[in-house]
Chains A and B, each alone.
Chain A
Amino acid sequence: MKLFFFHLMPYADLDLSYAQKHDTAWVTLPNSYFDPAHGKPSYDRYIRELELADELGFDGICVNEHHQTAYGLMPAPNLIAAALARTTKRAKIAVLGRALPLVNNPVNIAEEFAMLDQMSGGRLIAGFVRGIGSEYFASAVNPTYSHERFYEAHDLILQAWTREGPFRFQGKHYQFDYVNLWPRPLQSPHPPVWIPSQGSRETIEWCAAAARKYTYLQTFSPIALAQKNFDLYREIAANDGYEASPQQLGWAVPTYVAETDDIARRELKPHVEAFFNRFLRFPLEMRLPPGYSSVASTKHLIETKFAVRSSDQTIDSLIELGMVVCGSAATVRDTFLHRQKTMGFGNLIAMMQIATQPAEQTEKSLRLFAADVAPHLRRAGVD
């Protein structure tokens, strides 16, 4: 399988006692909790961690987009990707992803991705997302048009990459008299498209369709849900007349490697619990604005997934659910080999800096993973 290092660039200095006064780390948490003096050191450190992953031989490094939150300091992930395009040499650079419905000019996303593809020498992986519910409070974009705008912006971007310009685009949400991309992307016909998602049937059907065959990433979910969605992807592919390859599936999971299982658990515990219980904390209404999902699936989410998130998680419950992988190199290796065999994914997206986790632990975990885990995983899931 291909191995990716995923960074959220959280505000690791977040005062976790915020939770006594505020119900979320998103959108309404006052930005007085952010100390401007901690910005530059955080970016320096995080970019360095991504560069280290490139040096250690990871197949790819990943950034993503979130707005107005301590969860991630990358409202503009392409800025980080641009810096990485200059300083890294081999790794794919995956932007997972740009939130298409949030912008009024998707051509701009096509342009920036084309620039990144050129600047990185064809190493870009283009991720497209809808943005999570809270982004619709942060952006003022109407959540009832989230799906329509996503699909329409996607069509516009793909056309901008592949059609000769200038051409005219007349959509419901986007209208342009002149679309004519300079530069064009380096990769032909266009950079690979990945779709990170929590997984609705509609999204998986769309990704898996033979016309697209986009790589589907299951993000931060209980293992049972990831398994179900990967099975669904393969089933849809089969119904569409082809066999899905492992490379079309990716599993994103917080991962920590230390000297022993005990050390790993002890060291990771405060950080991974902060991640799920403090950084990923929202009122239901912020997570699911009206129309972001259908009424039926909103009800279903309220009844299933969010019941998991809303209670206080412990490292034990998280490991039990398969929402985090941690331990010695041998444990982590065996866990991933087992998961790969049962789930059949070809891309592992390991988030290896978790919430408040300090630089020393992140670097140790990256080095142990690269030395003692990665060599055993590469041969698994190769089609």
Chain B
Amino acid sequence: MSEPVDQVLDVQGVQIRVQQAGSGAPLLFLHGAGGRNWTALHRRLSNNFRVIAPEHPGFGRSPIPEWMNSVGDLAFFYLDLMEAMDLQGVHLAGHSLGGWTAGEIAIRNTSRLASLTLMAPAGVAVPEAPFGDIFLWSTEQATRAQFFDQALAEKRLAAPADLDLVLHNKTAVARLAWSPRLSNPQLPYWLHRIDKPTLFVWGREDRIVPYACAQPWRARVPQNQLVTLDECGHAIHNEKPDEAADAIISFLKTAP
């Protein structure tokens, strides 16, 4: 099992931190609103793939580019990153905010993609199943809502938090996704453009991007399948890393 190597890349004048581990086909993993972390899921995936995990501009105390004000802008940025790194046949994966970003990339251009894996993606709002209010909730409420297993939430709450980093990351999320909250009302109209095999992974007990949000994605993305994780909340990579890794690796074996 390899430890990730950290480097800073320049993409069209934007500095971006990228962690990489493993070898094989590239798997570009886009993190969620909580920011970058290298989890058990990343470790598992890096046994089979060259996992590339960037930290979005604006996160981790990096400045957000003045012009970047939407997830659509972030998607164009990652198309530039794939070009700058000369990646081909990319398995694009993302969680939550990162899943939404992956979807926005794929409606724009799939020429460098081999497949798409969206884990509890934000981006498509369902009126009957509103997103959790990650901006209004207290740290405790938000942490508890991440998990089905509250023992995991309590463990997370007991660990010391870096307030400065938390505030920076929250500000970056707000810049991209305050309004319309965590979604793009136009996105559903373009999902038919995703012409690569797509896997959705969702926790049935997700209280941040509820399970019911899978429905409009599944109705519009042409070739898709869904793996549902029982007794799992929003933080799939923390709560069910092995189940998620099994599902993704098995899906990618069959993807071209």
A140 near B178: Cβ-Cβ < 8 Å: yes
Shortest CB distance A126–B (Å): 27
Of the stretches B19-27, B76-84, B162-170, the one at the interface is B162-170
Known contacts A295-B164, A295-B168, A299-B163; A137 and B175 CB within 8 A of each other: no
Q: Is B114 an interface residue (CB 8 A)?
A: no
Q: Is B135 an interface residue (CB 8 A)?
A: yes
Q: Is B174 an interface residue (CB 8 A)?
A: yes
Within 8 A of A (CB), among B146-189: 163-164, 167-168, 170-171, 173-175, 178-181
Residue of A nearest to B180 (CB): A140
Q: Is B138 an interface residue (CB 8 A)?
A: yes
Q: Identify which of B171, B180, B181 contacts A291 (C-beta below 8 A).
A: B171
Shortest CB distance B81–A (Å): 23
A299 near B164: Cβ-Cβ < 8 Å: yes
Q: Is A192 an interface residue (CB 8 A)?
A: no
Q: Identify which of A284, A285, A295 contacts B171 (C-beta below 8 A).
A: A295
Q: Identify which of A137, A284, A289 contacts B138 (C-beta below 8 A).
A: A284
Q: Is B137 an interface residue (CB 8 A)?
A: yes
Query: Scoring B residues 78 to 96 as 1 if CB is less than 8 Å from chain A, else 0, what string do you get?
Result: 0000000000000000000
Residue of B nearest to A143 (CB): B174
Q: Identify which of A290, A295, A298 contacts B135 (C-beta below 8 A).
A: A290
Cα-based distance from A258 to B241 in the complex (angstroms): 67
Cα-based distance from A284 to B167 in the complex (angstroms): 13
Within 8 A of B (CB), among A128-186: 136-137, 140-144
Number of interface residues of A (CB under 8 A): 19
Cα-based distance from A291 to B163 in the complex (angstroms): 14
Q: Is B136 an interface residue (CB 8 A)?
A: yes
Known contacts A299-B164, A299-B167; A290 and B174 CB within 8 A of each other: yes
Q: Identify which of B138, B164, B175, B181 contacts A285 (C-beta below 8 A).
A: B138
Shortest CB distance B183–A (Å): 12
Q: Identify which of A142, A285, A299 contacts B178 (C-beta below 8 A).
A: A142
Residue of B nearest to A148 (CB): B66
Q: Is A358 an interface residue (CB 8 A)?
A: no
- Specify which chain B residues have a CB less than 8 angstroms from the CB of A137 in the assembled complex: 135-136
Residue of A nearest to B163 (CB): A299
Cα-based distance from A246 to B244 in the complex (angstroms): 66
Residue of B nearest to A284 (CB): B138
Q: Is A283 an interface residue (CB 8 A)?
A: yes
Q: Identify which of A28, A141, A142, A295 contacts B175 (C-beta below 8 A).
A: A142
- Specify which chain B residues have a CB less than 8 angstroms from the CB of A285 in the assembled complex: 135-138
Shortest CB distance A188–B (Å): 37
Q: Is A52 an interface residue (CB 8 A)?
A: no
Shortest CB distance B203–A (Å): 24
- Specify which chain B residues have a CB less than 8 angstroms from the CB of A144 in the assembled complex: 171, 174-175, 178
Cα-based distance from A285 to B163 in the complex (angstroms): 13
B135 near A289: Cβ-Cβ < 8 Å: yes
Residue of A nearest to B175 (CB): A144
> Beyond A142-B178, A291-B174, A299-B167: 11 further Cβ-contacts under 8 Å?
A140-B179, A140-B180, A142-B175, A283-B136, A285-B138, A289-B174, A290-B178, A291-B171, A295-B167, A295-B168, A298-B167
Q: Which 5 A-B pairs have the closest CB atoms?
A: A290-B174, A290-B170, A142-B178, A290-B171, A140-B179
Which A residues are closer than 8 A to B by beta carbons?
28, 136-137, 140-144, 283-286, 289-291, 295, 298-299, 302
- Interface pairs (18), CB distance under 8 Å: A28-B136, A136-B178, A140-B178, A140-B180, A140-B181, A141-B179, A142-B174, A142-B179, A143-B174, A289-B174, A290-B167, A290-B171, A290-B173, A291-B175, A295-B171, A299-B164, A299-B167, A302-B163
